[in-house]
Homo-oligomer: A and B are copies of this chain.
Amino acid sequence: MSTLSIDRHDLALLDALQRSGDATNATLGEAVHLSASQVSRRLQRLQEAGLITGYAALLDPAALGLDVMAFAHVVLERHGGVRTEAFEDGVAALPEVLECFSVSGNADYVLRIVAPDLAAFSELMMKRVLRLPGIANIKTDIVLGKVKQTHVLPLEHIARPGRPRRGVRFTVS
């Protein structure tokens, strides 16, 4: 656990970069009122500190023919010895399962799944997901429409006073 000094320039950089990750340092510098060399140095620091985990090209699912998205709520069987690894490993191996979280509430896990169409989705669920070990039952919510979808994380809370954090300690200045 290290202490990391973050100022408003760094925050502005992070915000700009998660929106357009291919912006040049010069462009970013204009937006943040810093020289390109400063931007370069700060980005190195932010990446070494683990705040920036990587860069990605964002693809359009619809344009790629992935028209179906769904959330699957999975309940596992309860046997004495807890054997969830087999299920979790199986889930991790399915590329159509983009996310899998264990959750509070009625279900044990929530999965986000994509597929080309309903036929392919149905086959995926029947032949791959439902056959994962240890499943008691699954309830699936099919996505009907997208109101909002973003990967942009809110950063406002960092500038606010707030309580001390675990992990990397910030010193916003």
Contacts and interface: CB of A to CB of B under 8 A. Distances in A.
Nearest to A69: B101
Interface residues of A, number: 77
Interface in A111-138: 114-117, 120
Nearest to A142: B104
A20 B103 contact: no
A51 B17 CA distance: 20
Interface of A: 14, 17-22, 49-67, 69, 71, 88, 91-92, 95-105, 107, 109-110, 114-117, 120, 139-158, 162-163, 165-168, 170
28 contacts: A17-B57, A19-B56, A20-B54, A21-B21, A22-B55, A50-B63, A52-B58, A52-B59, A54-B57, A55-B55, A63-B167, A64-B155, A65-B165, A65-B167, A66-B154, A67-B166, A98-B152, A98-B153, A100-B146, A100-B147, A100-B148, A102-B147, A103-B143, A103-B144, A105-B142, A109-B147, A110-B141, A120-B162
